[in-house]
Chains A and B, each alone.
Chain A
């Protein structure tokens, strides 16, 4: 085993990359849950975003167009969930599971032609001066644009929820949909929009995996990232900045175990590969003591009577 082969700067840099998919998907799901909807279909929307982004990037040669397509794909898929839960008043847990199963099937059907191809590369930004800083330049300032987009998204979601009217109304709908309805807010409309925002974010997160992190297409390649994103929201107690913290924690564990695998640690590869999932369970257990923050109407069906 050769631990000296692990460079701290590269480790931290790849941590940011590893954290980005679950960060973007997680912050999207946070908005959905703050609106009072539990969408367990994140995995399905991520994998759909992954293939949409991948396919469109291959076809157009432009990762930027690919990412847009991924967001659209994720949002369209989430629209199915929105129809089921907001109009057909279906159980949210079951509908989310259905979305995941459906998304996995859809993506492998769409992806058949794309196995083994390589997408156009997404360039890393080079920020003058900053990128050249020793250590910090490598860790913080020489990533692709989506890494920074993810950070900006967290900041934006935090600011909107805390300081704006839209954010206040969204929180109100998630907290008590009957009261929000009595005050004249359009509960269903707000929730549908939140669900689609979450879908678009999950799509982007998925595309980040297939276009940048891996980058290629294989069936089921999100491998539970969507579920980890869901766990992140619980971990974060529905607070945006804590999603960031959680994503970096999980990103760190993932990167570390990959590095340990590469360094030839005396633990079998399979046990290292389990570690992100086990850590997720551990964190869930620790965080489940604090359940007070869950939005009041989370997962409940809303039907305006009268």
Chain B
């Protein structure tokens, strides 16, 4: 019979080991899944995790993609992790990402075709503001009325998606687009285009911002009173109040920061890799970032690594779709499994499992 025993304090070893265990377990379970789909599991795992980086044929395309995909995931996940640490659950990052893109792109398109250095910085501010404002809705409702932020932020994703559709069909539609939905492509408007900073690396302003966010979050959480308040609130809300933390300010800060970062991610995406506002502009980064945040154990450095890993599954998944005709849903499922396994093995951080002989009842 298995018995759980609470550890006197959280295990540091397992805090680092559990994400690795989760990855390994997911690979095993994923392999079984792929085998059930009639694919060679070893090959599938290789195509997903190895080929994008090291196969000569694909690496030149895939390696830059790694940063392109990891950038928004890391940026959003860092923002989310601040709230998650404090027990504030913003799960509507997808909506804030969309709003950041709409407002940011809207600012850029408003200047079209003006050629000026300040267009892009203004777009960045617009993107940040868009995401921030969208996140302020659940934040203010929670502070004012105690409304559940989980449900409100999620509902606003659906509202955001409808807004996106409306924008790409209406206000932001390309007047020269022959009636097709979608805005002008910002790639054709140099003042607004978020180009690669170093050609061939995938490194753009958004990726740089993501790395800066990692450093910012690290310092905040480990060196600053505000970060301490965030962690304290998550661990023991009553102790936090006793300590002098104002829970309302914390809600506004955490939701605001996560919205701001998600908005920035949306702006950098729409002005760079994606290029335009379109109905299917959002691809679920806001939700995948939740997995990234947990997989990185809500720790900035962990999130950096988890973001890269998750980006790899995206690219590898596309490759597997191409090479092995592995359905894209299989990758989505694979990512979901990763979170499951992580939550399951996380038990080992705080508990010890002991084998006890079953006593006679």
Contact = CB atoms under 8 A, between A and B. Distances in A.
B98 to A, nearest CB: 13
B145 A280 contact: no
B207 to A, nearest CB: 24
A167 B51 CA distance: 56
A271 B333 CA distance: 32
25 contacts: A40-B150, A80-B340, A84-B343, A89-B350, A89-B351, A90-B347, A97-B91, A97-B339, A98-B291, A101-B336, A105-B334, A106-B336, A109-B332, A112-B329, A227-B151, A270-B163, A273-B162, A274-B158, A278-B159, A284-B141, A284-B152, A285-B147, A288-B147, A288-B148, A305-B6
Contacts of B49: none
A91 interface: yes
Q: What range describes how many residues of B lie at the interface?
A: 35 or more
Interface string A242-285: 00000000000000000000000000101101100110110011
A109 B336 CA distance: 13
Contacts of B344: 83-84, 88, 90
A32 to B, nearest CB: 15
A225 B330 CA distance: 23
Nearest to B138: A281
B337 A102 contact: yes
B347 A89 contact: yes
Contact of A101 (B141, B154, B291, B327): B291
A94 interface: yes
B333 A109 contact: yes
Contacts of A277: 155-156, 158-159
A40 B151 CA distance: 10
A94 B339 CA distance: 9
A68 B161 CA distance: 33
Contact of B4 (A89, A90, A102): A89
A227 B154 contact: yes
B185 to A, nearest CB: 22
B166 interface: yes
B287 interface: yes
A141 to B, nearest CB: 34
A83 B150 CA distance: 23
Contact of B166 (A271, A289, A291): A271
In terms of DSSP, what is the predominant structure of the interface of chain B?
helix
Contacts of B158: 223-224, 274, 277
Contacts of B329: 105-106, 108-109, 112, 219
Contacts of A108: 327, 329, 332
B346 A88 contact: yes
A98 B148 contact: no
A230 interface: yes
A226 B209 CA distance: 35
Q: Which 7 A-B pairs have the closest CB atoms?
A: A102-B336, A105-B332, A105-B333, A108-B329, A270-B166, A109-B329, A90-B343
Contacts of A270: 162-163, 165-166, 169
B179 interface: no
Contacts of B337: 102
Interface in A160-186: none
A95 interface: yes
Contacts of B343: 84, 88, 90-91, 94-95, 98
A95 B342 CA distance: 10
Interface in A52-96: 80, 83-84, 88-91, 93-95
Interface string B316-351: 000000000001011111111101100111110011
Contacts of B287: 101
A238 B332 CA distance: 33
Contact of A268 (B146, B170, B333): B170
B318 to A, nearest CB: 15
Interface in B1-47: 4, 6
B335 A274 contact: no
A236 to B, nearest CB: 13
A231 interface: yes
